[in-house]
Amino acid sequence: MRLKKDLANLVARERICRVATVGAAGVPHVVPVCYVLLDDKLYFASERGARKVKNLGANARAAVTVDLYMEHWASLKGVMIQGTTALIEGGPRFRKIRGLLYEKYPQYPDESPIEERDSLIIELTPRHVFSWGFE
């Protein structure tokens, strides 16, 4: 599914999104993550043992929200993307996305390195997109 240009611009520009997952027990889990958008797919890194990774192992569906809050509520904007995920555990694709994350977030390599031995990349492919505040 292709994101409309204005939605893709917002998603690509913003720095944080919130990722919602649900595990086998049905308990929701929401966390903020740093991400990149490439070819209409969202990518973010995680430690292999993180709750979101465990949840995605049981249920590959996730939702992501990217939004702008303004005190003037007529200016609120946001995008919710629901989709399916794939786990990228290493290899050239892992290293390519890691490079894009390092480029967007220069503090990543020093503060929280993404290494193949203990991290993975999560790819979210949009299936449904909802937005607000766009004309």
- Pick left, alpha or beta for residue 90 (phi over 0 → left; psi -120 to 50 → alpha; otherwise beta): left
pLDDT of residue 73: 87
The CATH architecture of the domain made up of 5-132 is: Roll (2.30)
Q: What is the CA radius of gyration of the chain?
A: 15
How high is the mean pLDDT in each 10-residue block of the chain (135 residues)? Answer: 92 96 95 97 97 96 93 90 97 97 95 94 97 88
pLDDT of residue 121: 98
Answer yes or no: pTM beyond 0.85: yes
Six-digit token string for 100: 């894009």
pLDDT of residue 101: 97
List the strands of the sheet with 36-38, edge to edge: 28-34, 16-22, 61-68, 77-88, 119-132, 41-47, 36-38
Domain ranges of the chain: 5-132
The Cα 27–Cα 60 span in angstroms is: 14
pLDDT of residue 26: 93
